[in-house]
Chains A and B, each alone.
Chain A
Amino acid sequence: MKNFLYRMDLKGSPYLYIAPFFLVFAAFGLFPLVYTGWVSLHDWELISDDHTWVGFANYTKLFGDTYFWNALWNTLSIWVMSTIPQLLMALVLAHVLNQRLRAPTFWRMTALLPNITSVAAVALIFAQIFGRDYGLVNYLLGVFGLGHIDWQSGTASSQIAISAMIIWRWTGNNALIYLAAMQAVPRDLYAAASLDGASSFQQLTKITIPAIRPTILFTVIISTIGGMQVLAEPLLFGGASPTGGSDRQFQTLSLYLYEVGFSRFDFGYASTAAWAMFGIIVIAALINYLITSRLRRS
């Protein structure tokens, strides 16, 4: 009997320990995921209990939906405008933080400070900074005689403001990820390069960047997944309205999904948008991967 219990404990108990994760995940992660696909094949509204099977009609509708394409282009342009400067700045910042410094922890904490601030708070702070009448940026533009921009009403200007929020919030976090990878690069490589007269910038481009390429790939993919899902910044920049500006000039995919699902309560169509979004994220991650692995080979 005792032997039996011992064997049971050895063979069976691991399943007991991992069960909580899988139970909660199955109910609140996996089930909704699969069910979204099912809902997307129906005409499914919150107010009605009839859910008519419509097959792929929602998907055909989505392909012809100009609001959807608009949201997709906005998402892509915000992603490009925020990711590229963000990662370049993070690289330079990590390079600086990787030097011998006084109080390294203090500087690292400073870099991470924006990331501690919640996205809702960031969106509100930047909505003020980029405000039309009393915003700080417009004041500074005025001081230099560069005129006055209605940041929220223009397409490019509103997307620049949103990209600025993303850049501000995530640069430090990425810098720390790069810094972690840089610390694994052997120090004597830099010492040798210094002896050969390489500048700090040359050391960054010739030694550091090649050495941490896998980490760069990792951050590009993570930023892509995050960038495709941007929601709180445009939502709060537009004063909590789900349309992303009067002409939808900064409505992202997530915001469109939110509008369809939770302000029109058209769950079937919103689920379709959700699956389309997932497909786009997978494609974007794949393209990223292909480009970066080609770069790695060359």
Chain B
Amino acid sequence: MYLCLIALAFFSGFPLYWSLVVASHDNSVLGQTPPPFGLGSNFFINIGRAFDTVPFAKALLNSFIVSTSITVSVVLFSTLAGFAFAKLKFRGRNALLLMIVATMMVPTQLGIIPLYMLMAKTAMIGTLYAVIVPSMVSAFGVFFMAQFLQEAVPNELLEAARADGCNTIRMFWHVVLPAARPAAAVLGMLTFMTAWNDFFWPLVVLTPEEPTVQVALSTLASGYVQDFSLSLTGTIIATVPLLVLFGLLGKHIIGGIMQGAVKG
């Protein structure tokens, strides 16, 4: 059994280790037989080269801005809408919630061309707004928060707040928001990771001069002769922030994925 698990650890960890090996050598060393299996000493030189080849500092900053804005917005709007769906009664509630769930099935690429034209018309193309604005809400987020709040906030508590003269927005602020914290944290982490790793849409709307880290990576990879040391150094720069986040909070992220799985 543990043999299986060690195989798993090798299977998941090895490609990451290998990218570190390649990234820490000079590209020409990679032609050797056998290839080097240990770490080399060129890692920091390669980092320097990566920063010289593409605007990586700007890309990292852009990715932070994009991911943070999307996360804050998704968590806020999902909690707000989730509260309405879970705890308030209004006409068309079930139909609207069903519609949100149905939209999760539609592939993102379907609308990409009009979305691109829309961004061009509103002059958002090439700016970070083009990446942030369409992702400000998430169907999964609304559904996830609605599911969670259904059970996490007892109706009696809301009735008591109402009897004390709270209107719904104060109820949201003082009762729902504190109760939503664990689920909001999980949703926030998942959203941040998705936004950080998003590739296709940023590639379409951003320029190589104003990229996110994933777009910068694709710039490093293009060209007729691939410099693997350089591009894998780039992948490490792009991945390390998320690995750190995952190392700190992985337990909760796994809990969130498993929770979403049972309910979804």
Contacts and interface: CB of A to CB of B under 8 A. Distances in A.
Contact of B239 (A118, A127, A168, A218): A118
Contacts of B81: 17-18, 20-21
Contact of A9 (B31, B85, B167, B224): B167
B204 A262 contact: yes
B4 interface: yes
Given A180-B258, A180-B261, A15 B118 contact: no
A110 B254 contact: no
Interface in B28-57: 30-31, 33-35
Given A96-B1, A236-B221, A118 B196 contact: yes
Nearest to A236: B221
Contacts, number: 279
Interface in A115-169: 116-129, 131, 133-134, 136, 139, 142-143, 168
Contacts of B105: 225, 285
Given A17-B81, A21-B81, A39-B114, A181 B8 contact: no
A35 B107 CA distance: 15
B230 to A, nearest CB: 10
Given A176-B258, A239-B223, A32 B13 contact: no
Interface in B185-236: 193, 196-197, 199-200, 204, 214, 217-224, 226, 228, 231-232, 234-235
A128 B19 contact: yes
B254 A108 contact: yes
B234 to A, nearest CB: 7
A47 interface: no
A261 interface: yes
Contacts of A22: 96
Contacts of B160: none
B137 interface: yes
A251 to B, nearest CB: 15
A33 to B, nearest CB: 5
Given A25-B103, A111-B8, A31 B258 contact: no
Contacts of B88: 10, 13-14, 17
- B: contact size bracket: 35 or more
A105 interface: yes
Given A229-B109, A271-B113, A20 B137 contact: yes
Contacts of B133: 24, 28
Nearest to B246: A116
Contacts of B264: 218
Contacts of A271: 113-114
Contact of B15 (A9, A32, A129, A285): A129
B250 to A, nearest CB: 4
A267 interface: yes
- A: contact size bracket: 35 or more
A173 interface: yes
Contacts of A283: none
B262 interface: yes
Q: Which among B93, B114, B214 has the greatest number of chain A C-beta atoms within 10 A?
A: B114
Contact of A25 (B1, B115, B137): B137
A267 B261 contact: no
B175 interface: no
Nearest to A18: B81
Given A14-B88, A125-B19, A236-B218, A116 B242 contact: yes
Contacts of B222: 239-241
Nearest to A117: B239
A258 B253 CA distance: 32
Given A108-B254, A120-B238, A128-B22, A35 B217 contact: no
Contacts of A118: 196-197, 199, 214, 217, 235, 238-239, 242
B142 A21 contact: yes
B128 interface: no
A181 B33 contact: no
Interface stretch (A191-199, A203-211, A274-282): A274-282
B19 to A, nearest CB: 5
Contacts of A143: 34
Interface of B: 1, 4-5, 8-9, 11-13, 15-16, 18-19, 22, 30-31, 33-35, 77-78, 80-81, 83-85, 88-90, 93, 96, 100, 103, 105-118, 133-134, 136-137, 139, 142, 167-169, 172, 193, 196-197, 199-200, 204, 214, 217-224, 226, 228, 231-232, 234-235, 238-239, 242-243, 246, 250-251, 253-254, 257-259, 261-262, 264
